[in-house]
Amino acid sequence: MSELTRPFITREHRIEWGQCDPAGIVFAPRYMDMFAESSILLFEAAGLPKKRDMLREMGVAGFPLVDLSARFLKPSSYGDVVTIEADAPQFGTSSFTIAHRIRLGDALCVEGSEKRVWTVHEDGRLKAAPVPEDVRARFANH
């Protein structure tokens, strides 16, 4: 992941008390929640339906997480307003990887990535399926 990568989406988020440990700094797993929400918002920003509608309208069962990495560079604390960035997905056949960054002002606090798999229901089970071409096309020029 490059510092020079232009994000596909950028959003502001105020750090909430419930996201913090007793010292008032963000408990590391809460950053993963922020990444996950940005992944959902990324698809919406590309013009796809909200996730609950996507599941119903597109026949997708979801996109479960299969790999996760993060580097924690600077803490953020209760009340801080951070900027959360997510890059366009890098697609495999049925998987995609999204790079995320969380900044406080100009300082990079956390950088990480999620690898997820496009899944469908088949014979009562979840099964990996190719990411549809129309979904890929929404990110092709970014």
Q: In this predicted model, what pLDDT tens digit does every residue of 114-135 receive, in sequence order? A: 999 999 999 989 999 999 999 9
Residue type for 125, please? R
The question of whether 67 is a catalytic residue gets the answer no
Q: Which residues contact 58 (CB under 8 A, 6 or more apart)?
A: 48, 49, 132
Rounded distance between C-alpha atoms, residue 117 and residue 27, angstroms: 26
Residue 3 belongs to some domain of the structure: no
Residue 31 belongs to some domain of the structure: yes
78-117: burial string, b at 16+ Cβ within 10 Å, e else: bebebbbbbbbbebeebbbbbbbbbbbeeeebbbbbbbbb
Q: Tell me, what DSSP letter sits at residue 120?
A: E
pLDDT by residue (tens digit) across 2-60? 445 579 999 999 999 999 999 999 999 999 999 999 999 999 999 999 989 998 899 89
pLDDT recorded at residue 2: 46
What is the CATH number for 90? 3.10.129.10
Residue 2 belongs to some domain of the structure: no
Q: Tell me, what DSSP letter sits at residue 92?
A: -
**How many structural domains compose the chain?**
1
Residue 124 belongs to some domain of the structure: yes
Residue 103 pLDDT > 70: yes
User: Annotated catalytic residue: which of 21, 53, 67, 134?
Assistant: 21
Check: pTM over 0.85? Answer yes or no: yes
pLDDT recorded at residue 106: 96
Domain containing 70: what range? Answer: 9-137
